[in-house]
Structure 1
């Protein structure tokens, strides 16, 4: 692994080099991702953490091909997907899937769960999609008859399980988890994180876990990259970054993570205010 924290292409499922994304026309152009580099090996989880507006979701969208890349490269399984012809890019993109933040809006309310899960399998040319759907429902802990029901008949946690099933339906090499637990209560959040970890152990997929919450990222990540104003300011082992951060911005994120003890929480809030004043 090099000093940027990026694994070599030979071992990585994903390698991002000097990624840049800008919005707007030439005169009013704003660069929102500024030379970001990282790698994720198969079976590894990289947590990408930062506050709203830091550029983390834009990076996820760039990996999915949903925003134009203005510089750098995204290499996945040996293919630079930023330079592939559109026809080949679609084939590679099927091996990169996403779990969105909101389990309520990410599922089509007019489709049954079976139809929601069969659709990507049909596009991929899977012959026995219905059998695969039953397998997926069991994998995420839902009964077989869940396939005949509609999203409105499920709780938020169950809907996120369905969203996870859809993301892993084609056995992708990379899953982008974009704030997948922020809309869930703490108990349901813990179950969803446990499910993601179990599926990763079973499939060997790489995860990019995007969140604003350093505490949540620490729970699921092998390594953490801290994003601030479009640039990575700190990267390293999950425990090291979350418990012994070296960058002032990471320390602010650490102090923003809630703890159950009200006295400790009050001291953390005060310390965070002091850091914010010092940076102003």
Structure 2
């Protein structure tokens, strides 16, 4: 990761302490996240990586106020966010935005791109929303006339650029990126990751980058936290965790990272089977 915009990187970032998320009550209660703690400094990216069902998306939803937090705390820029009343959370919502996994379902097909991007601006009371839309389209590398078109007229990668533009509309300090490249081909993935890099350099925004792919997380993150069954089992510098993992679960994720060489793939599959058979 390169340097980020320094003028936006002062003050507190995201602080998550002993976060617990559970669904249901009594005997039907299911604990999904169990005492997770981490921080994201302003202008930095934390990659949160784990297999399906590990609880990583639930953590992202908890930050957005969309999952039931039963313990711990979440604060951003010094403001406590845990279990805020809905009215209070709305006033802080512009500070934390989200880019979802599927660019095909995250955009309203009946709205033009102009309307999609103006909507959060209108809700926030921004007077000249159209000027901001032109700025956003330019920022994500789309032509000015894209605003008059509909989502169905764009490719998956272009739709994800539109989703990123929508997330940027209110100039948030933190963007939750929930598997934002997993539905894209490798070439388009690389372009979207490059765009996220550039936006962070230009704006100083922080990212929580959620993924099941340790290789992708390494490309975009300053630090990595590995989540397994609702618990962080390893955390550290991006290069250290992805190339020299300590925890057996992280090593399994490393061995599952796609590589183009079929011989290396076969070797990794054998090693992963060995780890699984050993109970690691």
Fold shared per TM-score above 0.5: yes
- Please give the per-residue CA displacement for 1:188-217, whole angstroms capped at 9, x wherever unaligned: 000000001100111101100000000000
- Please give the per-residue CA displacement for 1:15-48, whole angstroms capped at 9, x wherever unaligned: 0000000111211211000000000011000000
The residue that corresponds to 1:146 in the other structure is 146
The residue that corresponds to 2:46 in the other structure is 46
Where structure 2 has 5 or more consecutive residues not aligned to the other structure, the ranges are 1-9
The alignment yields a C-alpha RMSD, in angstroms, of: 1.1
The residue that corresponds to 1:78 in the other structure is 78
**Aligned pair 1:258/2:258, yes or no?**
yes
1:84 is displaced (CA, Å) by: 3.4
Distance 1:205 1:108 in 2: 25
Distance 1:161 1:80 in 2: 30
Do 1:18 and 1:36's aligned partners in 2 also have CA atoms closer than 8 Å? yes
Do 2:94 and 2:171's aligned partners in 1 also have CA atoms closer than 8 Å? no
1:11 is displaced (CA, Å) by: 4.7
Size of the aligned set, in residue pairs, is: 271
- Please give the per-residue CA displacement for 1:218-261, whole angstroms capped at 9, x wherever unaligned: 00000000000000000000000000000000000000001111
Do 1:108 and 1:116's aligned partners in 2 also have CA atoms closer than 8 Å? yes
1:93 is displaced (CA, Å) by: 2.1
Distance 2:132 2:13 in 1: 25
Q: Runs in 1 of length 4+ with deviation above 6 angstroms?
A: none
The residue that corresponds to 1:244 in the other structure is 244
| TM-score when normalising by structure 2 | 0.95
1:83 is displaced (CA, Å) by: 4.5
- Please give the per-residue CA displacement for 1:129-183, whole angstroms capped at 9, x wherever unaligned: 0000000001111000000000000000000000000001100000000000000
> What pairs with 1:60-75 in structure 2 (closer than 5 Å)?
60-75=60-75
**Aligned pair 1:137/2:129, yes or no?**
no
Where structure 1 has 5 or more consecutive residues not aligned to the other structure, the ranges are 1-9
Do 1:113 and 1:150's aligned partners in 2 also have CA atoms closer than 8 Å? yes
**Aligned pair 1:29/2:29, yes or no?**
yes
What SS does the corresponding residue of 2:26 show, helix, strand or coil? coil
The residue that corresponds to 2:221 in the other structure is 221
Distance 2:183 2:214 in 1: 16
Do 2:103 and 2:160's aligned partners in 1 also have CA atoms closer than 8 Å? yes
